[in-house]
Structure 1
């Protein structure tokens, strides 16, 4: 009975079993299809991303540059150089305790441990720790942390003279690219070839294969500047002492060879250290002798005198009525510091009479004044090889009102840069020929062979040789004992120059209760000029007159530079000075 009953139940169980088998098959098929679909998706659509990710797990690369070119002064003394360092990277996944490791690494490398710990606490396979570590310290860390760190030979930029010439040189960034100054302007010439380092790691993260590829010719080229390190130092020291003595906001000093346009010094105060530029205010990085324009004040009277002589309407002896110190033009009353009645053109320059300058300007007319100022290069860039040059501001004479014509005659209502002003005065020293100012003497390769040299370049003749000689005589009278620039003459040398006490325009466009720039610009020796020098101090509080503030600094720069250059003082002037002291 039981067997028959089992036989009767069997046919009833078969359909249920078949359904279960069918369902299991469908589930397995769905799983297979899902896996196959995912495989197709990964192979077809995610292929590139996954290959890149996989490659990142076992390989990596880093770019470095070959040695950057050296910057030398005119006598081949190093101003900026590159030294060997080590770039240190880390594999965060292999560091068991990032906080403890960061503390130890930071101690060796003088870094912020908290910031470094944050950098190491990441899912990224590789991070940079420091790009300019000292080789011995890097190897100490490598011995301690093993394959958790990766080392790469690299170069770091150093400035051995620290703050000296910082605004001229500029600096480079962490990637070795020039960011300011000549480092930026000549970056393409200084930059070395790119070197790409590629490495492959095993399953434990150990680098077992490393290769390098270069693009370019190798190390960068060198710059040989026109700057003389000793004269740069002399200018910086004299400027610093003057700004501090007269409690000025800042200052500039510039030295140029008037015969060639070669810049021998370009000093600023306050300065900065390009080895640690981020620790200094950004405004100290700027080469203000190139980038900043200011009103030149009475220094412009030099060019007024040149315009007057070139016009043929005046001679050095031409007399003008100085109105006893008060004169009205276009409803504006102009005044002299010291009232005068009648002065010659030469005396207008010697005593720096504003009203006398206005009378001379009225005599020659706005067109003649504008033409001469334009010829001297005001209102246009000089073309000096420095970044960010300002062109200044000189409006066309057709846009001048009578009061504009008057104020421009004594240096208000236009703006110039330090390099423009010194270049213009240098043209007077150079017999009326304007030279293009330049910072670089030559570019050389890694072996010291000249790739390109920069010869003196004449821009144009601006006045006749006769006019230049007569203006020089007037400028020499300024530095006589009774002139406004008497403190500019170092013992034993005759100097040609001009003082300037220039009001600084207020933000509301007026000069009421304004600050001043104290300026002196000139050249020496008078008979055969070797150097042209400009000194400007912004907003000196103790005294604001150019003849009091800037002229003594000019004298110090000339005296010390000539001593360094072995330019002897004139014996007759030394004897004359000695006789005066004995007579007193």
Structure 2
């Protein structure tokens, strides 16, 4: 009997202890839930939840014929939850090997003390597959978009590029970033204790995509210009080059070619100096291409006629203690022949008769010294000082393209105004911005800035410029069989570090349009510091000819338009 009582007592004590233990656990659980619930939830979220911002797909950039120039493709980024990784050293080594990273850098991220870290953004398909095969706890994969330029270096400086976060950093990607970038969506990524994903609190939010751009650039014309330019820079061992193609009546740019270029798919591997669009950012002294605008000023203000003659001093002329030289000695030349033979002395004599005010007014009207307002970042206004600050020497020098700086964009825009009956158009490179539904949000229409010179003056200058490519002119190598073309050569000395004109560093250029009577395109070629030859007629004119020939053929512009009567009149020697 006593033994049975002892068993009951022992059972009661054990039961009481268990009951007390369960009561204690219950009280503790209640206390934790009631008083520490928020704190614990926060701690859990910090360990197993992470808010990640996903960007909407960036818009596509098309050329004028809707050929793709820039697009976004779906990629996968690799992330990690360090708190869920037991052997960080081994995980770092495995991840580094699979992703082509430094093991020390991966280990540093895993040891950062943060609950979530990126291991590699926008990893390649093979890299992603290699990481998945590792089956590492605490490693996850998030969908993103990567920018891809299917044509490589084509129009690289115009397009620009984006960073890893999809933010436009250069070119149109930067300028139109607000239109191209998609909307952001925040997704809460949830992981279990083993690092496995089991959903998102945002129910797979889908960010809104960005808008598309339709450019004025034509991929084929751009290719023609880039190929011709690249071969010329290589042949003449030049430092760099630019070639622009514009539609005179609208201001649309069909091509903006530059060499050297870079691949925006791997912009980090190239020199930063190649990233900028030098056609709009870098001013230079134009040299003799500016003579066509000096001549236009004289004609427009009735200072001279095409057959008005000037004595060109047989190649040497003194102006206020300074000597002006021509490459070849000339006696009497008409205004037509001053342009044809590119006489510096003839240009100085012309401006001496005209005066600085009218020259400045005309150059300013053509857009020199002010920004064009093109829809690209970083445009330079060039430099054209006020005529009241010009000395006699300054006035003469500006007449033939020294003492003034222009951008390639300003030069082709001014030349295109002569091709467009004297009307200066605002240049642009984006035709339209399309919404995610493909419908236009904004469109760009051609904008006439002003009538710089009369249609008659513009036509006369076009015909004078046609003589430049005929026999005896400085630009015969710019001629295009089957078409009447107009143009002007330029050879400008560069300024060295001392502020003096260099004797061995030049810019060779050629600007013109075709066909002469009704120009379909205007073309500018600029070759910086050519090594084998220095003159625009030898270095840049053949590039102009090739671009014009191939572009007019591509655009189906019919041949014809020769001006035989003009050739006879201009080629006749003026006696005196």
**TM-score between both structures, scaled by the size of structure 2:** 0.88
- Residue in 1 that maps onto 2:212: 222
Question: What's the secondary structure of 2:146's corresponding residue?
Answer: strand
How far 1:104 moved relative to its partner? Answer: 3.3
Unaligned stretches of 5+ residues in structure 1 = 1-42, 575-584
How far 1:486 moved relative to its partner? Answer: 0.4
How far 1:453 moved relative to its partner? Answer: 1.2
Q: Distance in 2 between matches of 1:362 and 1:49?
A: 87
Which of residues 223, 242, 249 in structure 2 aligns to 1:233? Answer: 223
1:253 aligns with 2:236: no
Rate the CA distance shift 1:516–1:136 in 2: closer, same or farther, 3 A.
closer
Question: What's the secondary structure of 1:294's corresponding residue?
Answer: coil
Which of residues 256, 269, 285 in structure 1 aligns to 2:275? Answer: 285
Which of residues 294, 315, 319 in structure 2 aligns to 1:325? Answer: 315
Which of residues 281, 291, 303 in structure 1 aligns to 2:293? Answer: 303
Q: Distance in 1 between matches of 2:562 and 2:462?
A: 20
Structure 2 matches for 1:47-446, cutoff 5 A?
55-135=45-125, 137-212=127-202, 218-446=208-436
How far 1:127 moved relative to its partner? Answer: 1.2
Q: Deviations over 1:462-496 (max 9, x none)?
A: 00011101111110000112100000012111110
Rate the CA distance shift 1:215–1:177 in 2: closer, same or farther, 3 A.
farther
- Residue in 2 that maps onto 1:453: 443
Q: Is the 8 A contact 1:492 1:573 kept in 2?
A: no
How far 1:58 moved relative to its partner? Answer: 2.9
Question: What's the secondary structure of 1:306's corresponding residue?
Answer: helix
- Residue in 1 that maps onto 2:454: 464
Q: Is the 8 A contact 2:99 2:131 kept in 1?
A: no
- Residue in 2 that maps onto 1:474: 464
Q: Is the 8 A contact 1:493 1:573 kept in 2?
A: no
Q: Distance in 1 between matches of 2:480 and 2:169?
A: 39
1:557 aligns with 2:568: no
Q: Distance in 1 between matches of 2:148 and 2:50?
A: 29
How far 1:339 moved relative to its partner? Answer: 1.1
Q: Distance in 2 between matches of 1:459 and 1:392?
A: 18
Q: Distance in 2 between matches of 1:450 and 1:150?
A: 39
Question: What's the secondary structure of 1:513's corresponding residue?
Answer: strand
Question: What's the secondary structure of 2:559's corresponding residue?
Answer: coil
Q: Distance in 2 between matches of 1:571 and 1:424?
A: 23
- Residue in 2 that maps onto 1:10: none
How far 1:61 moved relative to its partner? Answer: 1.1
Rate the CA distance shift 1:212–1:338 in 2: closer, same or farther, 3 A.
farther
Q: Deviations over 1:420-466 (max 9, x none)?
A: 00000000000000000010111112232111111111111000011
How far 1:214 moved relative to its partner? Answer: 10
Unaligned stretches of 5+ residues in structure 2 = 1-34, 565-576
- Which structure has the larger Rg over C-alpha atoms? 1
Q: Distance in 1 between matches of 2:345 and 2:91?
A: 75
How far 1:137 moved relative to its partner? Answer: 4.4
Q: Deviations over 1:68-102 (max 9, x none)?
A: 00000000000000001112101233334444434
Q: Is the 8 A contact 2:57 2:207 kept in 1?
A: no
Q: Which shifted more, 522-531 or 194-203?
A: 194-203
Question: What's the secondary structure of 2:329's corresponding residue?
Answer: coil
How far 1:117 moved relative to its partner? Answer: 3.7
Rate the CA distance shift 1:327–1:445 in 2: closer, same or farther, 3 A.
same
Rate the CA distance shift 1:208–1:424 in 2: closer, same or farther, 3 A.
same
**TM-score between both structures, scaled by the size of structure 1:** 0.87
Q: Distance in 1 between matches of 2:88 and 2:474?
A: 69
How far 1:506 moved relative to its partner? Answer: 1.1
Q: Distance in 2 between matches of 1:524 and 1:404?
A: 33
Question: What's the secondary structure of 2:202's corresponding residue?
Answer: strand
Q: Distance in 2 between matches of 1:313 and 1:137?
A: 72
Question: What's the secondary structure of 1:111's corresponding residue?
Answer: coil
Q: Distance in 1 between matches of 2:438 and 2:126?
A: 30
1:517 aligns with 2:507: yes
How far 1:398 moved relative to its partner? Answer: 0.3
Q: Is the 8 A contact 1:98 1:120 kept in 2?
A: yes
- Residue in 1 that maps onto 2:9: none
Rate the CA distance shift 1:571–1:535 in 2: closer, same or farther, 3 A.
closer
